[in-house]
Amino acid sequence: MFRSGCEHFYSPPFDTINDEYRKFLHEFPCNITHITLPKNLEDAKATLDRWIANGTLIRENEAIILLKQKFESSGRNMERYGIMALVKIFPDDGSVIPHEKTFSGPRTGRYKLMKHIGCIPEPIFLVTGNSHLRSILQGQTESMSPVLSFTEPEGVLNEIFLCIDRDFIEKLRVLMEKENSIVADGHHRLAALREIASEVPSDLNWHYAMAYITPIDQESLMISGIHRIIGKIKSKESFLNDLKHHFTVEEEKRLSDKDITLYMNHTYYRLSLKREYLGDDIMDNIPPNIVNRFILDELKDLNGEDMEKYTKYTDKSAEAIETVDKKEADACILMPVWDKELFQKCISERKLFPQKSTFFFPKVPSGIALYIPMKND
């Protein structure tokens, strides 16, 4: 963990940071992005070694971290509780369940970084169905004082508690030892770690990942979709008419978070897939697959080329809409929030979602802790 007094040591997860914000974070000498988003691998290794040598990072043995996050949503005060601890991820016994496919580029990038520096600098974000975990963590933190706290730009207050109570740690271990967990964020990190572990199977330290675990049934765990910004449409009129073959298309005055919505020409169009196009498999009818099959594939045919290079992603609907209004894109597809029961049902059937299907909020900041498997943990 970073020692007390390090200014702005934390950051969002590496894959949510744009170039401009990365430059800003790099202005802080102790910011975690010097390792998670380094200039190069050698610089990341040198930075980590220097932080360990000069006491910027302090080693904590036989401890777990309790994380309490406070934020406001729709005018309501929310609190979310979770733990950061080591979770066995290799060999894959099915207890840590990915829900999204991965891209080869980010997966390879995380593999090279973690193998080169001998460190896991960011946690995997896991959700569990164990409904007792929240009340246990809430009760424990009431008698503790945070060792660190900071507020992120989005307004999320993070309070970090360091727990060295062996009885409590054992209580949590017993509570969670037979629980399956779903990967919320960190699919590329998990895939990279399993690849590293497979190359050094005798080094048991790499069989574990640093993970953040929180109950999925908390109202304060929010799952939204990731919006698609479409840079180029050859004919907007033809595109809208083609959509009407598969969808009931209705103009709306405002955005709804319960439906797939097309925003184009300063207008919201609510898209409801017609009953005859609903599939038999549960995965046929989840919003990302509907968008891929009946909207992006339609655009591919209309434009005569693959739409991936014209598609950008954002978790912020306002950003997507503003991009279109500024004429930096022709349209955006705004995704609804996820029904948690549907999400869990898909996972229980071991279904894999397309990339960029879910956005979990609040995120778990990077920099709270790092795990160094090579140091006989």
Kindly state the average pLDDT of the residues 309-329.
93
Tens of pLDDT, residues 247-272: 999 999 999 889 999 999 999 999 99
Domain with residue 316: its CATH number is 3.30.1760.10
Kindly give, in sequence order, each residue whose CB lies less than 8 Å from that of residue 185, ignoring residues fewer than 6 positions away: 13, 124, 125, 360, 363, 364
The answer to whether residue 346 is domain-embedded is: no
For residues 253 and 212, state if they share a domain.
Answer: no
Average pLDDT, the chain: 93
Question: Which residue range forms the structural domain that includes residue 69?
Answer: 14-222+360-375
For residues 136 and 27, state if they share a domain.
Answer: yes
The answer to whether residue 9 is domain-embedded is: no
The structure tokens listed for 123 are 């946690």
The structure tokens listed for 127 are 């959700």
Tens of pLDDT, residues 86-139: 999 999 999 999 999 888 889 999 999 999 999 999 999 999 999 999 999 999
C-alpha–C-alpha distance, residues 284 and 97, integer Å: 20
Q: In this predicted structure, what is the pLDDT of residue 226?
A: 94
For residues 306 and 318, state if they share a domain.
Answer: yes
For residues 268 and 284, state if they share a domain.
Answer: yes
Question: Strand 227-230's sheet: what is its strand order?
Answer: 247-252, 267-273, 260-264, 331-334, 227-230, 311-314
The structure tokens listed for 284 are 């046929």
Yes or no: say if 96 and 355 are a contact pair by the CB < 8 Å rule.
no
Measured CA to CA in angstroms, residue 328 lies from 93, 229, 332 at distances of 46, 10, 11
Question: Quick one: which of 266, 261, 278, 263 has its CA closest to 335?
Answer: 261
The structure tokens listed for 9 are 């040591």
The structure tokens listed for 196 are 């590293």
For residues 186 and 148, state if they share a domain.
Answer: yes
For residues 230 and 209, state if they share a domain.
Answer: no
Does the pLDDT of residue 158 top 60, yes or no? yes
For residues 120 and 256, state if they share a domain.
Answer: no
Q: Per the structure, how many domains does the chain have?
A: 2
For residues 68 and 46, state if they share a domain.
Answer: yes
For residues 61 and 34, state if they share a domain.
Answer: yes
For residues 171 and 287, state if they share a domain.
Answer: no
Exposure string for 75-92, b = 16+ CB within 10 A, e = fewer: eeebbbbbbbbbbbbbee
Domain with residue 47: its CATH number is 3.90.1530.10
- Please report where in the chains the tokens 């765990």 appear, as a residue: 221
Number of residues that make up the chain? 377
The answer to whether residue 4 is domain-embedded is: no
The answer to whether residue 351 is domain-embedded is: no
The answer to whether residue 6 is domain-embedded is: no
The answer to whether residue 7 is domain-embedded is: no
Express as a percent the part of the chain with pLDDT over 70: 97
Residue 302 banded pLDDT, cuts 50, 70, 90: low
Does the pLDDT of residue 16 top 70, yes or no? yes
Yes or no: say if 163 and 63 are a contact pair by the CB < 8 Å rule.
yes
The answer to whether residue 206 is domain-embedded is: yes
The answer to whether residue 326 is domain-embedded is: yes
Q: In this predicted structure, what is the pLDDT of residue 376?
A: 45
- Give the β-pairing of 208-215 and 96-97: unpaired
Does the pLDDT of residue 375 top 60, yes or no? no
Does the pLDDT of residue 78 top 60, yes or no? yes
For residues 165 and 100, state if they share a domain.
Answer: yes
For residue 13, whether the previous peptide bond is cis, meaning omega lies within 30 degrees of 0, is no
Yes or no: say if 144 and 163 are a contact pair by the CB < 8 Å rule.
yes
Yes or no: say if 306 and 300 are a contact pair by the CB < 8 Å rule.
yes
pTM above 0.85, yes or no: yes
For residues 193 and 315, state if they share a domain.
Answer: no
